Amino acid sequence: MQTLDKWVERIYAETDVGRSIATSVAGVIGLSAYLLSTDWVIAAFLSIIAFPLVRLIATGIHARAVSREQSLMELAEAERIYSRLSEEERTVVQAFVGAGGSVLTWDQVNRLGLPAAGVESLVQREMVWSSMTADGMRETFALDSSLFDVGQKKLANEKSFG
């Protein structure tokens, strides 16, 4: 009886979503098989076979849902930040978007004539930072990817309404 109590305690204390769902579904499959066939061996085998399959499926679905939720939260945070940017900061973000990427070389930034206050402010907010090109030959400015995505979205909305 003590072993059964420990097993029940472990099942209900489980925090792994895939395992929890797999345990429930395998239990339903086993119970259904037993009720239909009245053979506990077949019911046990079906439960044992179903458990890992259901766990894999449930874990995959849960991981995708968590990833999607995290992406939506990052985008919402970036939209909140974008809405609080000054006009100069938005000009800088839109310059990155207009150039087609979240990285600009120093030369590109100088040619675009971006407001220095906007660039420095975004650096202080840690939305822009200096970086290097992949070949290590030139210094660049890199814009936060989520903020870049919001800037693209705003530009697309302006074009569709403009």
Neighbours of 30 (CB within 10 A): 21
Closest CA to 128 of 142, 116, 108: 142
- Per-domain boundaries in the chain: 2-78, 85-161
How far apart CA 132 and CA 103 sit, in angstroms, is 10
Provide the whole-model pTM.
Answer: 0.62
CB 60 within 8 A of CB 90: no
The confidence score (pLDDT) of residue 162 equals: 57
CATH architecture of 85-161: Orthogonal Bundle (1.10)
pLDDT tens track for 129-149: 988 878 888 888 999 999 999
pLDDT tens track for 4-61: 677 667 666 667 788 888 888 888 888 898 899 888 888 888 888 888 899 899 989 9
